Amino acid sequence: MAVAGRIRVKAAKIKVFLIAVLALLGSSLVAFGAKVSAFRGDVSQSVTEDGRRVVAVSVAGREAVLSEMRLMMAALHGVLDGLARSDMKQVGASASSAGLGAAVDMDPAVRASLPPEFVRLGMSTHVGFDSLAAASSGGGDREEILGRAARLSANCVACHATYKLEVQ
């Protein structure tokens, strides 16, 4: 009986050990797979170590996207600064500087290389800036416009949490 019990305990320990080895192997394979697919530039499958999706871009593409980003950052700052001082003229001017008009400057070849979902989210952000500009010039309530700016900034957060540029 005692011997059988010891064997059972031993068998259970071996089982736990095997499961641990398999789990370790599985997770390294997943990490390896992510690296390989990133290497191949497979946009929909590649994932960075922090879980974001890789957007493969050329050097020029990266510059185009990042300069659009800096423009949006400056616009958002202008909007918030204007709202803080109740300067609706500034709110409107800052918001429209990052509206759809700013997006048309992007090289069509660069745009075509970006994932459609990424472009859609970017465009809806530009549209959001335009409607913020319209609301502020239409004599919109300051609190209401602040709420719109906050909702618009959720687009920035969502996209940054999802994508990462990688020059390939």
Binding residues vs ligand HEC (CB under 6 A): 66, 69-70, 72-73, 76, 118, 121-122, 125, 155-156, 159-160, 163-165
Q: Which is nearer to ligand HEC, 136 or 155 (CB)?
A: 155
In the complex, the smallest distance separating the C-beta of residue 117 from ligand HEC, rounded to whole angstroms, is: 8
In the complex, the smallest distance separating the C-beta of residue 112 from ligand HEC, rounded to whole angstroms, is: 15
In the complex, the smallest distance separating the C-beta of residue 33 from ligand HEC, rounded to whole angstroms, is: 21
Q: Which is nearer to ligand HEC, 9 or 66 (CB)?
A: 66
Q: Which is nearer to ligand HEC, 3 or 70 (CB)?
A: 70
Task: Mention every residue, 6+ apart, whose C-beta is less than 8 A from residue 122.
Answer: 68, 103, 114, 159
Q: Which is nearer to ligand HEC, 5 or 70 (CB)?
A: 70
In the complex, the smallest distance separating the C-beta of residue 45 from ligand HEC, rounded to whole angstroms, is: 17
